[in-house]
Amino acid sequence: MSHPIGLILPFITAVVIITQSEAATSFTVFSAEQPAIPTVSTAGSLVPGKSKIDCAVRCAVVDYFDCAATVYLPESNSCLQSVLKQAEFGSVPPDTVVFRRETDEPISQRIIQSRSNGSLSFQRTWSEYEEGFGDGIDFWIGLRSINKLSNNLTPRTLRMEAVKWSGALYVAEYSGFVVGDASINYLMDYGSYLADRSNTSADSLAHHKGRVFSTTDRDFTSMSCSNSSGGYGGWWFNGCSQCNPNGVYFSTRQATPGKYFWASVDGMYSLKSIRLVLLP
Ligand SMILES: *[C@@H]1O[C@H](CO)[C@@H](O)[C@H](O)[C@H]1NC(C)=O
Ligand SMILES: *[C@@H]1O[C@H](CO)[C@@H](O)[C@H](O)[C@H]1NC(C)=O
Ligand SMILES: *[C@@H]1O[C@H](CO)[C@@H](O)[C@H](O)[C@H]1NC(C)=O
């Protein structure tokens, strides 16, 4: 059986671990357990739901910023959700399975991309960029998930955080960040670069605003931007890039074509680490 966002649910007696792909371990991991653990009382809120798995998936992806624990209520075909991961759902039957967020990542942010180690290759196909990949340190959560989290109905703030090889951290924020679905090739758009909340020297994402996603096996640029100049990675390329967090990771500062960089942080030089974070 497959479901819309391709999560897998290996059942191990009472414990269920949800990850977003077989390779990815750094994503939101939820455990499922009986309610008999230390809990906090909460009223919770109800959203429509079709099954235990549906409720878990909603909590882990679609309703990420509103849900840290959830249970399925079959009588009303709904999911009871709480922002507290230790929520107590007092009124549910005793054998109900509660899905709880395990990550310590605060509910107020969602890391969608991270590079700090470099062992994991980001030279991947369209379908891998759609589904997501990761090694527990470096990861890309996937275009499908990014679209579920940030779309026209729920635009988010995007925060880019990059560290140069000197150790200096630079931040850039964008309002109204949205990524379309597969039918428009995950077109990316945003409202504005929030200069007063950023300390990058300019807006390097502007060059990519309104572009569709490209990978080597599905390149919508006229210049094969995803190839050598893009490090054979995936991005919202546009002849070719002013920023490319998914390029090749180098363990020193260098300007080699294909490196991952963000022009308004350290020009055409590679960076030490970078991450992209969604805020509600
Ligand atoms: C990446 O992680 C591996 C395994 O933990 C480690 O041996 C290596 O030094 C790390 N590389 C960097 C650049 O941090
Ligand atoms: C940029 O802003 C961030 C967040 O406010 C801050 O932590 C960092 O030190 C600043 N970087 C520089 C180089 O001033
Ligand atoms: C880009 O790379 C892909 C995958 O390696 C290859 O199939 C394609 O022919 C390349 N395109 C160009 C213009 O080199």
Best probe residue, ligand 3, of 214, 216, 219, 248 (max atoms within 8 Å of C-beta): 216
Ordered domains of the chain (ranges, CATH) = 11-101 (3.50.4), 110-279 (3.90.215.10)
Relative to the alpha carbon of 251, which ligand is closest?
1
Q: Of 85-89, 225-229, 251-255, which range is least confident?
A: 85-89
Beta strands per DSSP E along the chain: 11-12, 15-16, 30-33, 40-41, 45-48, 69-73, 78-82, 87-88, 98-101, 110-115, 133-134, 139-140, 156-163, 169-179, 188-189, 243-244, 261-262, 273-279
Mean pLDDT of 81-93: 81
pLDDT band at residue 125 using 50, 70 and 90 as cut-offs: very high
Atom of ligand 1 lying closest to residue 116 CA: 14
Whole-model pTM? Answer: 0.84
Looking at residue 4, what is its pLDDT? 33
What is the distance between the alpha carbons of residues 192 and 190, in angstroms, rounded to a whole number?
Answer: 6
Amino acid (one-letter) located at 266: D
Looking at residue 109, what is its pLDDT? 92
Amino acid (one-letter) located at 160: M
The 10s digit of each residue's pLDDT in 54-73 is 999 899 888 999 999 999 98
**240 CA to centre of ligand 3 in angstroms:** 15
By residue count, the chain amounts to: 280
What is the distance between the alpha carbons of residues 108 and 23, in angstroms, rounded to a whole number?
Answer: 25
